[in-house]
Amino acid sequence: MFKNLTDFGYKRSALQALGFYLAYLLLTIMIGFLAGGIMGMFGYGFMDGLKVGTLSAIVISTLLSIFTVKAKNLLNFTNILFIIATGILAFFGGAFLGLILPAYLTTK
C-alpha cells in the first residue's frame, strides 16, 4: 500500500493510490503545521498561519501533479487541466481535496 511513494512514474492500483494519498496528506499536514508554528514564533496570528497552511497545500498538491504527469510522460491538455484543477481544489479544500487528483494520476 505504501510502496514506491517517491516513484512518481510507478503505476499504482487503487489501494496503492489510497496509500499515496494518505502518506502525502500526512506529510502536507505536518509541513503546514510546521510553517504555521514558525509564523507563530515570529508573532503572526492564527489567520496568517492558516493562509500559509493553505498555500503549502496548494503548492505541494500542484507539484505532485506536475511530477506525476512529467514522470509518466502524460503531458496533454486533459492532464494540464487536472494540474490546474488540483490547485483550485487545494485552494478550496486544502490538502484533503487537493491530493485527490494527484493520487488519481498515479493510477494512469
Radius of gyration of the chain (CA): 14
- The pTM for the full model equals 0.88
CB-CB contact of 63 with 103 (8 Å): no
- Taking only the tens place, the pLDDT of each residue in 54-80 is 899 999 999 999 999 999 998 899 999
Q: Evaluate if residue 52 carries a pLDDT over 90.
A: no
Cα 91 from Cα 77, distance rounded (Å): 21
Q: Evaluate if residue 100 carries a pLDDT over 90.
A: yes
Q: What pLDDT is attached to residue 6?
A: 83
Cα 58 from Cα 63, distance rounded (Å): 8
Question: 21: pLDDT confidence band, cut at 50, 70 and 90?
Answer: very high
Q: Evaluate if residue 50 carries a pLDDT over 90.
A: no
What contacts 10, CB < 8 A, 6 or more positions away?
3, 4, 106
Instruction: Report which residue type is found at 97.
Output: L
